């Protein structure tokens, strides 16, 4: 006798694809019969809250900087002078602003003229800020 195994294999049931439900048309009342539908409440996501917070902080920073900046915009100009050949910014500062220490006078002239260093050239016109 031979050893054989017989499997009882039944064919798998055939599945038919399910057809998606089609949207149905619904008749809605119009005109006087229509009722106002209340809007859904506004929901803020985490990204929305972050955007609002960052915008508020940025606006506060810009306002603070604008109010408390004491740069050249807050400085009043008294007069102007032309640089003579051989003159340095230190000499001009001590001549034009004798009531201030030289370092302070040089700094004020630099701020008033948007200078990044102490280099000046003959013929250059410098604005001299008012002291007070």
Which residues, in sequence order, are bridge partners of residue 77? 129
In this prediction, what percent of the chain has a pLDDT beyond 90?
Answer: 36
Query: The pTM is what?
Result: 0.46
Which parts of 18-127 fold into alpha helices (H)?
46-68, 89-96, 102-113
* Residue 66 domain flag: no
Please indicate, yes or no, if residue 109 is contained in any of the structural domains.
yes
CA 132 to chain centre: 36
- Give the chain's domain count: 1
Query: Does 19 fall in a domain?
Result: no
Residue 43 lies in a domain: no
Q: With respect to residue 13, please indicate whether it lies within any of the assigned structural domains.
A: no
Which pair of tokens denotes residue 32?
């006087």
What pLDDT shows up at residue 82?
Answer: 92
Residue 4 belongs to a domain: no
How far apart are the two ends of the chain, measured CA to CA in Å?
123
Residue 113 within any structural domain of the chain: yes
Q: What is the CA radius of gyration of the chain?
A: 41
- pLDDT tens digits along 11-61: 777 777 777 788 888 887 787 777 777 778 888 999 999 999 999 999 999
Per the prediction, the chain carries an average pLDDT of: 83
Q: Which CATH number do you get for residue 94?
A: 3.10.350
Print the domain residue range for 119: 76-129
CA gap 90, 81 in Å, rounded: 14
């Amino acid at each position: 006798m031979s050893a054989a195994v017989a499997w009882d294999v039944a064919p798998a049931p055939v599945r038919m694809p399910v057809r998606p439900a089609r949207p149905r048309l619904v008749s809605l009342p119009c005109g006087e019969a229509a009722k106002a539908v209340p809007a859904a409440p506004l929901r803020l996501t985490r990204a929305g809250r972050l955007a609002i917070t960052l915008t508020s902080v940025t606006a506060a920073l810009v306002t603070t900087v604008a109010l408390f900046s004491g740069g050249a915009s807050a400085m009043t100009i008294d007069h102007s002078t032309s640089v003579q050949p051989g003159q340095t910014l230190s000499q001009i500062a001590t001549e034009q602003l004798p009531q201030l220490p030289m370092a302070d006078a040089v700094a004020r002239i630099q701020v008033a003229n948007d200078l990044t260093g102490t280099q000046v050239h003959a013929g250059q016109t410098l604005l001299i800020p008012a002291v007070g």
